[in-house]
Structure 1
Amino acid sequence: MTMDKNKWIEVNYDLYWSDLYRYAYTILKDRDSASDAVQEVFVSIYNNYDHLHIQQSKSYLLRAVKYKSLSMLSESSFDTVQLESVYKALSDNEMLSDKEAELFRKQLVDIVYKKAKEILPDRCFQVFSLRYYQNYSYREIAKDLGISESTVENQLAKALKILRTNLPYSVDLQVLVVLAFPLVNC
């Protein structure tokens, strides 16, 4: 970087601030936090300018804002809305690595599991857990629990209906289950 750091900050701030802010906002869903994320990135670059080798300013800044935003999110508790919004924002911008995608899927699975354990009747939760967390087939669940496959199917439908109405917002739980539990087979 041959440009003086004050000039580099000024030029890139003017050129990219609004794009960076919008990107941070799609992740954080909070105006102040999005602004803070962008500001912190520029402050960090200013403080470390002499040690950085930035080839493409916009790409570098977008990655830095992404990681700063994710860092800020990791300091707060997630809910399903935030996770799906972050996943969509990052995947829409092709900025989600396989490792990050797996992290979000895991967090979605954890949220659904905790909510299911909290609100589902015992038998319903047992069927739900065997199906989606232990990857049992309907036939295996029926055999293990001594119930019919149609009872398994009814219990799973009941579980999904209860969860759909009790998650933090209306979510297409069948889509969420497919995304969060990709290894499930019937």
Structure 2
Amino acid sequence: MKKGDQRAFECLYERYWLPLLDHAYQRLQSTDAAKDLVQGLFVNLYVRREEIPDIHSPRHYLFRALKYQVLNQLRGTLLRSEKLQQLQAEGLRERQPREQASAHVIEKELEGRLRDAIHLLPEKCREAFLLSRMENLSYKSIALRMGISVNTVEKQIGKALRILRAQVGNYYLDCLIPFIIYFL
């Protein structure tokens, strides 16, 4: 093989390919990774054939070379896994404050939109809505305080909710009303 005898290399390949593949698979538990390692081992052997010292036991030499290839593969996999975990942990630590800040900005923007929308409601509509939401008064109590019928209170609050939902959406309205009213 050192002298360029192609047939000598083919004999080594045919004789040891399958046992090396089986050995690599047992260690890596991946057919593709095992094939890649064994193929790489034979390519390296062929490329470096003139540099390799005299080999008394080709089996011993090939299995030892494979052992180091497998160890390098496993070490690389472990290092990549640790690095990935580290990057993911750093990414989570970096992303959390940004996501919290972003959510806070969105919340403040929605609060502002809702507050502005409440202030733009017609006077009687706004008054009925705020009495209902701020003071938790019943429609009957609001009607007595404002000097209007319960039916009118229902219509005023319904109108307020339609206007506000149009301004900020159902989900945000339901979530933010308790907080916005506190800040009014």
Q: Is this a same-fold pair by TM over 0.5? A: no
More helix by share: 2
Rg comparison, structure with higher value: 2
Q: TM-score range by the shorter chain?
A: 0.3 to 0.5
Q: TM-score, normalised by structure 2?
A: 0.42
Q: TM-score, normalised by structure 1?
A: 0.42
